[in-house]
Amino acid sequence: MGEIRLHSQWEAVCGRLRSEIGEAAYQSWLKPITVREMADGQVRLSVPTRFMQDWIVTHYADRLCMLWQGENPGIRSVDVVVLSDRPARAVEKPAVVAPLPTVPTARRMGSAEEAVVDIGAPLDPRFTFERFVVGKPNEFAYAAAQRVADATQVSFNPLFLYGGVGLGKTHLMHAIAWRIRQSDPTRNVIYLSAEKFMYRFIRALREQNTVDFKEQFRSVDVLMIDDVQFIAGKDSTQEEFFHTFNALVDQGRQIVLSADKSPSNLEGIEERLKSRLNCGLVADIHATTYELRLGILQSKADQLGVEVKRNVLEFLAHKITSNVRELEGALNRIVAHAQLVGRQITLETTQEVLHDLLRANDRRVTIEEIQKRVAEHFNIRISDMHSARRARSVARPRQVAMYLAKQLTTRSLPEIGRKFGGRDHTTVMHAVRKVDELRERDAGFAEDVELLRRMLEG
Ligand code: ADP
Ligand code: MG
């Protein structure tokens, strides 16, 4: 196909999409695109960095293809490749048509800048700042990550994020990368795991081109290495990491690292590296609180587009305290189950579906303990938990105890009923509803129940 026709089709497609997505997005994402060629119904576009490729493929590829089909019905697909020869020119002249060389892209890449495209790992499109729920345990790390992402100059170097597994370290790192990419697509942000870093380094050693390995990182503006505890004790990798790290810091490039422990507590890491790591900003992510877990669940349910009742979310937030990943997994499971069997999500189905998980997370509070504590709290006899007395002064505490038994143990309704003087499961169900209702209406009562729950959970 003639270059001129290809060129004019691109201009038309680009113009349409530009009016759809607005000027800012156009400048960031469409303008740097170079049209390469069209063959066999496939249009090939190129962009200078892997990040731009990811973004365009995720956000615009389908739309580009559709628009192009409107211009030329013979088009079947639009392919976006990374070619970083003279990115500056490509930015200025988006419609330069240059035939693709026949040699594969990877081998054509000569300069360090081109090769670096290959180093990073892809970013998870869900891991953005917008989707990160902020609470006491992570607000500092969140703020630090935002600062680094929005900074025009290097502020803290390195930013060191640490915390237990599944608490959002990787999420925050990807969020930084997405944000930087969005505000300035020409900045080269590389994210990779320490494991991958090590693997690359070992391969370079084997192939005897460690010089190339170092060169690869030269053109990186922001380097993020996840889970650096992985290189603890691996001396040669650590040495290399140290040099790369120093070189980049000296050149004023931003570095972001994560680990499961603070720099000082990392074992098997050399002292000089530790002290270098401590030089920037160290931000920890603490274990989740009940409030944060509830907030995360609510936000994830919204994202899934499903309505999950408050009591179910509260139940999950109480029960699954290990980490966010597990919490998310639990919610996904109950939502998937409900959609599959076409049933509403209730506390009962939740307990059924998550049986195994709940058992593992179970704090092993017994019904006897609950009865004892509740009786003490309301100043009644334990025997009243089993008795047939119906006076409000004993009936209400009994209902509270049943409610807590349902919330804090994995016992079924009939099992709970039996422990309360052989009552029927419908009585327990009624108690659970009643307490829920009272908690809504009476803040003092809600507080009492909450206090008891905390005491029991220890
Ligand atoms: P880590 O790297 O610390 O082990 P991840 O970043 O992989 O943890 O987080 C595990 C999962 O939990 C991810 O799906 C992530 O999106 C989610 N997650 C963690 N913290 C939050 C949060 N504060 N808000 C929303 N999602 C979160
Ligand atoms: Mg991680």
pLDDT tens, position by position, 244-263 = 888 888 888 999 999 999 99
Contact 228, 278 (CB under 8 A): no
Q: What is the DSSP letter of 383?
A: G
Instruction: Kindly report whether the global pTM for this prediction surpasses the value 0.95.
Output: no
For position 105, what pLDDT does the model report? 34
Percent of the chain's residues with pLDDT above 70: 90
User: Using a 6 Å CB cutoff, which residues line ligand 1?
Assistant: 127, 131-133, 138, 163, 165-171, 296, 324-325, 328
Ligand 2 centre distance from Cα of residue 194 (Å):
11
Whether residues 225 and 324 share a domain: the answer is no
Q: Residue 233 — pLDDT band, cuts 50, 70, 90? A: confident
Distance, in Å, from the CA atom of 343 to the CA atom of 330, rounded to the nearest integer, reads 17
For position 365, what pLDDT does the model report? 83
Residue the block writes with tokens 């919330």: 407
Distance, in Å, from the CA atom of 106 to the CA atom of 117, rounded to the nearest integer, reads 10
Distance, in Å, from the CA atom of 30 to the CA atom of 59, rounded to the nearest integer, reads 11
pLDDT at residue 111 is higher than 70 = no
Distance, in Å, from the CA atom of 126 to the CA atom of 204, rounded to the nearest integer, reads 33
Q: Residue 447 — pLDDT band, cuts 50, 70, 90? A: confident
- The type of residue at 187 is R
Whether residues 136 and 235 share a domain: the answer is yes
Do the strands 189-193 and 34-39 form a parallel or antiparallel pair, or are they unpaired? unpaired
pLDDT at residue 346 is higher than 70 = yes
More confident residue, 232 or 397: 397
For position 285, what pLDDT does the model report? 95
Ligand 1: which of 139, 167, 228 to mutate, most ligand atoms within 8 Å of CB? 167
Percent of the chain's residues with pLDDT above 90: 46
Total domains in the fold of the chain: 4
Q: Is 308 within a domain?
A: yes
Which secondary structure element, helix H or strand E, spans residue 177, and what is its range?
A: helix 169-183
Average pLDDT over residues 278-289: 91
Q: Is 61 within a domain?
A: yes
CATH of the domain at 295: 1.10.8.60
Whether residues 336 and 379 share a domain: the answer is no
Phi, psi of 431 (to 5 degrees): -60, -45
CATH of the domain at 245: 3.40.50.300
Size (the chain), residues = 458
Whether residues 295 and 393 share a domain: the answer is no
pLDDT at residue 451 is higher than 50 = yes
Ligand 1 centre distance from Cα of residue 331 (Å):
14
Q: Is 443 within a domain?
A: yes
Residue the block writes with tokens 């990419």: 181
Phi, psi of 231 (to 5 degrees): -90, 5
Ligand 1 centre distance from Cα of residue 127 (Å):
8
pLDDT at residue 426 is higher than 80 = yes
Of the candidates 208, 202, 267, 203, the one whose C-alpha atom is nearest the C-alpha of residue 232 is 267
How far CA 249 is from CA of 30, 115, 176, 266, in Å, comes to 32, 21, 18, 21
> Which one of 241, 259, 285 terminates a domain?
285
Give the chain's mean pLDDT.
85
Whether residues 414 and 336 share a domain: the answer is no
Q: Whose CA is nearest to atom 19 of ligand 1?
A: 168
Whether residues 137 and 277 share a domain: the answer is yes
Whether residues 298 and 375 share a domain: the answer is no
Q: Whose CA is nearest to atom 11 of ligand 1?
A: 325
For position 205, what pLDDT does the model report? 82
Distance, in Å, from the CA atom of 394 to the CA atom of 188, rounded to the nearest integer, reads 68
Whether residues 354 and 227 share a domain: the answer is no
Structural domain boundaries, residue 274:
112-285
For position 95, what pLDDT does the model report? 29
Ligand 2 centre distance from Cα of residue 134 (Å):
17
Note the pLDDT tens digit of each residue in 354-378. Answer: 988 887 766 678 899 999 999 999 9
CATH of the domain at 452: 1.10.1750.10
Which ligand is nearest to the Cα of residue 164, counting in written order? 1
Whether residues 451 and 430 share a domain: the answer is yes
For position 85, what pLDDT does the model report? 52
> Which one of 90, 121, 150 terminates a domain?
90
Whether residues 234 and 305 share a domain: the answer is no
pLDDT at residue 88 is higher than 70 = no
Which contacts of 47-50 are long-range, i.e. CB under 8 A and separated by 24 or more positions?
47/80, 47/81, 47/82, 47/83, 47/90, 48/82, 48/83, 48/84, 48/87, 48/90, 48/91, 48/186, 49/82, 49/84, 49/87, 49/117, 49/185, 49/186, 49/188, 50/82, 50/117, 50/118, 50/120
Q: Is 131 within a domain?
A: yes
Q: Is 335 within a domain?
A: yes
- Whole-angstrom distance between the N-terminal and C-terminal Cα of the chain? 73
- DSSP string of 203-232? HHHHTT-HHHHHHHTTT-SEEEEE-GGGGT
For position 27, what pLDDT does the model report? 74
Q: Is 15 within a domain?
A: yes
Q: Is 330 within a domain?
A: yes
Q: Whose CA is nearest to atom 6 of ligand 1?
A: 168
Whether residues 159 and 247 share a domain: the answer is yes
Of the candidates 297, 423, 273, the one whose C-alpha atom is nearest the C-alpha of residue 350 is 297
> Which one of 285, 310, 330 terminates a domain?
285
Q: Residue 110 — pLDDT band, cuts 50, 70, 90? A: very low
Q: Is 98 within a domain?
A: no
For position 51, what pLDDT does the model report? 67
Distance, in Å, from the CA atom of 164 to the CA atom of 260, rounded to the nearest integer, reads 5
Of the candidates 342, 403, 338, 331, the one whose C-alpha atom is nearest the C-alpha of residue 373 is 403
Of the candidates 67, 68, 63, the one whose C-alpha atom is nearest the C-alpha of residue 41 is 68
Whether residues 121 and 259 share a domain: the answer is yes
Average pLDDT over residues 147-161: 90
Distance, in Å, from the CA atom of 69 to the CA atom of 78, rounded to the nearest integer, reads 10
For position 107, what pLDDT does the model report? 30
